[in-house]
Chain A
Amino acid sequence: DGGITQSPKYLFRKEGQNVTLSCEQNLNHDAMYWYRQDPGQGLRLIYYSQIVNDFQKGDIAEGYSVSREKKESFPLTVTSAQKNPTAFYLCASSQGGANEKLFFGSGTQLSVL
């Protein structure tokens, strides 16, 4: 079955530690996105990539980094510079172009120890 796979489902970060969240898709989608969701808030865009080897900052990119070396993979690193990393992280992909429908992975809950 085609879809988006995020791992791990739960992740714990120690003070000063960088952690990386994995996102893989086999939908052959060009565009991929990372969103953050906090309780009672909407999804906020962290980074997005419309094509391999290219990505842009979203609304809350500070303290995060990404790479897009392969079409199917878009890992997100939460760096130590992100002072409030506890949140539910959602990866999504879309066909790109005029097709705006997003397909989401099952999410990663990141917590700080």
Chain B
Amino acid sequence: RKEVEQDPGPFNVPEGATVAFNCTYSNSASQSFFWYRQDCRKEPKLLMSVYSSGNEDGRFTAQLNRASQYISLLIRDSKLSDSATYLCALKASGGYNKLIFGAGTRLAVHP
């Protein structure tokens, strides 16, 4: 089983829709979790960290479910500009600051 798994998509949604992605992880000792956004052939950019209590940033909400070992990203009122690949990343406990990335979920928002 991969350390981090994401549905590759694509998720094709109309503007204004609400869409949610999940990311499952296998290492229960994972400590820190993140969502990154990556546009085609560009670098990933940090979208938001994921906290145990859940957190929201505008139209974006991230949740962590430690019992079931997954994190989620909810996007409300989708915009055309939200079209991108969303990568989840996590840091295992101990040692150095190594982030493990999922392969990403592609979102395509259409008019």
Contact = CB atoms under 8 A, between A and B. Distances in A.
A58 interface: yes
Interface stretch (B55-63, B70-78, B97-105): B97-105
Interface residues of B, number: 23
A106 B42 contact: yes
B45 interface: yes
Contact of B97 (A44, A90, A94, A109): A94
Interface string B4-18: 100010000000000
Contacts of A100: 32, 34, 91, 97, 99
B44 A41 contact: no
A90 B43 contact: yes
Q: Top 6 A-B pairs ranked by shortest CB distance? A: A104-B43, A42-B101, A43-B101, A42-B103, A100-B97, A100-B91
Interface of B: 4, 8, 32, 34, 41-46, 49, 87, 89, 91, 96-104
Interface of A: 31, 35, 40-45, 48, 50, 56, 58, 88, 90, 94, 96-97, 100-107, 109
